[in-house]
C-alpha cells in the first residue's frame, strides 16, 4: 500500500515537472505554444451573487459556468456561459480553437512565426478524454497547423495548478461584490488577477462531434484512452495497409508511451512504445455548424420567474432599467430556446488555414 502511494506521488510530481518544462520552453522559444484549461466551481458564479445571501434568495439561481485558460505569451482568458451551452467536449475544443486564434492574431500583430508544437494540459475528467477531442487534435496536425501536439493530464487528487490560482483570486474578489447580471460577474474577473484576464460571454459553440461524424472522420472505437495520461499526436511514415512492395504512407497517429494501444478490447495489454492509433480517419470537408442550445427545464424556469418576482418585491425601485431588462430578457430568451429557436444565428467559424502554415509537419 505504501509503495503504491509513493508511486502515485512520483507520477503526480512528474506530471507537474513536465508542465513546468513545457511552460519554460514556450517562454524561451517561439516555436512552442503551451496552454492549460480548467473549469471553475459553478456555485461560486451563480446569479444573483451577494456579499451575504439574503434569506429571500433561497435555492433559486441562474447558473453561470466559467472556463479559464492560460496561454504562455497570450495571457489569461475566462469564458462565461449559461447551461444552454453545456459542459462537454465541444465546449473544450472551442476553447482550444479560439486560443489558437488568439495566438495567431498575437503573432501576426508582432510579425512573429506561428508555433510548431502545441502543449496542452488538462484535468483528468471524462469529457477531456474523448474520441471527439483526439479527432480534433489530429485534425490540427493533419491541416499542418502544428507539427506535433502533446497532451498531459494531471492525476486525480493533484489537479491544483496556476489556473486554479486565478479562480481562487476571482472567488476572493467576488466576496466583496454584488453581481446581479453576467456583465457584472465579468467585470470583476477583469481585475481579479495580474496580468488582467480577458473575458468573453459564450452564447454558442461549434458542433465538432456532428461535423466529424457526418464526414466519417471519427473512429468508432478507441481502446485504453481512459487509462493513459500522456499523449503525442504527430505524422508517422507507416507501411500501406496492403504492405506490398515496401510502400509507405503518412498518417497522423495518436500515441501514448504510458500503456500502449490495443487494436481491440480482446487483445491483451502490451507495451508498444512505437505504435499509435489513427483517430482521424479522413480530413473533414466543409465547415461545422453551431451546436444546438440546451433548453431550460421546468425547475429552471420556475427559479427564473421566482427570482424576477422577488427582485421586484425586495429591491423595489432598485429593480429597474438595464437590470430589470436583463432578467425579463432572460425569460424570453429561454422560452425561445425551449420553443425551438435553438440554433444560434450569425455563427462564425475561424478556419485553420488562416494560420498560414502549408508545409510544416512534413
Please report the pLDDT score of residue 197 as a whole number: 97
The C-alpha cell 479522413 sits at 282
pLDDT along the chain (362 residues), means of 10: 60 70 91 95 90 82 95 95 94 96 94 95 87 95 94 66 89 94 97 96 94 92 72 83 69 73 60 71 91 93 92 90 94 91 63 54 36
Helix (H, G, I), strand (E, B) or coil at 314: helix
Give dist(CA 88, CA 121) in Å, integer: 17
Please report the pLDDT score of residue 85 as a whole number: 94
User: 349: which 3 cell numbers?
Assistant: 467559424
Q: Which residues pair with 33 in a beta bridge?
A: 118
Q: Residue 255 contacts by C-beta under 8 Å, 6 or more apart in sequence?
A: 231, 232, 233, 234, 261, 275, 276, 277
Please report the pLDDT score of residue 342 as a whole number: 72
Please report the pLDDT score of residue 359 as a whole number: 38
Give dist(CA 151, CA 300) in Å, integer: 36
The C-alpha cell 432598485 sits at 318
Report helix, strand and coil shares of the chain as percent, to nearest 5: 40, 20, 40
Give dist(CA 134, CA 123) in Å, integer: 15
Please report the pLDDT score of residue 257 as a whole number: 62
Please report the pLDDT score of residue 74 as a whole number: 94
Please report the pLDDT score of residue 198 as a whole number: 97
51: Cα within 13 Å, side-chain hemisphere:
4
The C-alpha cell 469529457 sits at 127
Burial environment of residue 69 by CB neighbours within 10 A (0 to 12, 13 to 18, 19 or more): buried
Helix (H, G, I), strand (E, B) or coil at 278: coil
CB 134 within 8 Å of CB 222? yes
Give dist(CA 197, CA 209) in Å, integer: 29
Please report the pLDDT score of residue 258 as a whole number: 58
Helix (H, G, I), strand (E, B) or coil at 242: coil
Q: What does the chain come to in residues?
A: 362
Helix (H, G, I), strand (E, B) or coil at 193: coil
| Closest alpha carbon to 213 in 288, 143, 144 | 288
The C-alpha cell 492574431 sits at 105
The model's pTM: 0.89
> CB neighbours (10 Å) of residue 288?
20
User: 295: which 3 cell numbers?
Assistant: 433548453
Q: Which residues pair with 21 in a beta bridge?
A: none
31 CA to centre of own chain: 22
Give dist(CA 124, CA 121) in Å, integer: 10
- Please state the φ and ψ torsions of residue 11, each to the nearest 5 degrees: -65, -40
In order of 89, 96, 129, 177, 233, the CA distances from 133 in angstroms are: 6, 10, 7, 37, 12
Please report the pLDDT score of residue 82 as a whole number: 95
User: 36: which 3 cell numbers?
Assistant: 492549460
Helix (H, G, I), strand (E, B) or coil at 149: strand
Please report the pLDDT score of residue 340 as a whole number: 84
**What radius of gyration do the chain's Cα atoms show?**
23
Amino acid at each position: 500500500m505504501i509503495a503504491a502511494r509513493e508511486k502515485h506521488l512520483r507520477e503526480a510530481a512528474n506530471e507537474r515537472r513536465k508542465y513546468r518544462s513545457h511552460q519554460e520552453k514556450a517562454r524561451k522559444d517561439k516555436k512552442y505554444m503551451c496552454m492549460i484549461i480548467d473549469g471553475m466551481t459553478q456555485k461560486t458564479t451563480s446569479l444573483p451573487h451577494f456579499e451575504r445571501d439574503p434569506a429571500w434568495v433561497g435555492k433559486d439561481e441562474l447558473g453561470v459556468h466559467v472556463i479559464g485558460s492560460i496561454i504562455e505569451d497570450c495571457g489569461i482568458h475566462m469564458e462565461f456561459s449559461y447551461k444552454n451551452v453545456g459542459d462537454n467536449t465541444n465546449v473544450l475544443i472551442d476553447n482550444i480553437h479560439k486560443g489558437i486564434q488568439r495566438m495567431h492574431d498575437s503573432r501576426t500583430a508582432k510579425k512573429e512565426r506561428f508555433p510548431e508544437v502545441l502543449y496542452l494540459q488538462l484535468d483528468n475528467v471524462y469529457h477531456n478524454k474523448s474520441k471527439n477531442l483526439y479527432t480534433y487534435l489530429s485534425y490540427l496536425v493533419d491541416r499542418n497547423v502544428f507539427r506535433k501536439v502533446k497532451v498531459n493530464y494531471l492525476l486525480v487528487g493533484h489537479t491544483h495548478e496556476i489556473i486554479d490560482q486565478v479562480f481562487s483570486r476571482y472567488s476572493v474578489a467576488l466576496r466583496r461584490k454584488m453581481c446581479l447580471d453576467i456583465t457584472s460577474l465579468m467585470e470583476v474577473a477583469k481585475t481579479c488577477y495580474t496580468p488582467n484576464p480577458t473575458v468573453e460571454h459564450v452564447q454558442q459553440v461549434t458542433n465538432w462531434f456532428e461535423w466529424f461524424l457526418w464526414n466519417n472522420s471519427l473512429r468508432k472505437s478507441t481502446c485504453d484512452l481512459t487509462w493513459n495520461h500522456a499523449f503525442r499526436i504527430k505524422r508517422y511514415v507507416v507501411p500501406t495497409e496492403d504492405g506490398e512492395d515496401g510502400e509507405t504512407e503518412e498518417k497522423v497517429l495518436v500515441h501514448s508511451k504510458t500503456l500502449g494501444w490495443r487494436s481491440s478490447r480482446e487483445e491483451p495489454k502490451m507495451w508498444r512504445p512505437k505504435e499509435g492509433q489513427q483517430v482521424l480517419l479522413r480530413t473533414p470537408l466543409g465547415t461545422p455548424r453551431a451546436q444546438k442550445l440546451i433548453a431550460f427545464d421546468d425547475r429552471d424556469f420556475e427559479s427564473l420567474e421566482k427570482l424576477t418576482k422577488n427582485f421586484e418585491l425586495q429591491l423595489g425601485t432598485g429593480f429597474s432599467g438595464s437590470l430589470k431588462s436583463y432578467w425579463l430578457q432572460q425569460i424570453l430568451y429561454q422560452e425561445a430556446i425551449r420553443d425551438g429557436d435553438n440554433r444560434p444565428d450569425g455563427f462564425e467559424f475561424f478556419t485553420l488555414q488562416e494560420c498560414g502554415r502549408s508545409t510544416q509537419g512534413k
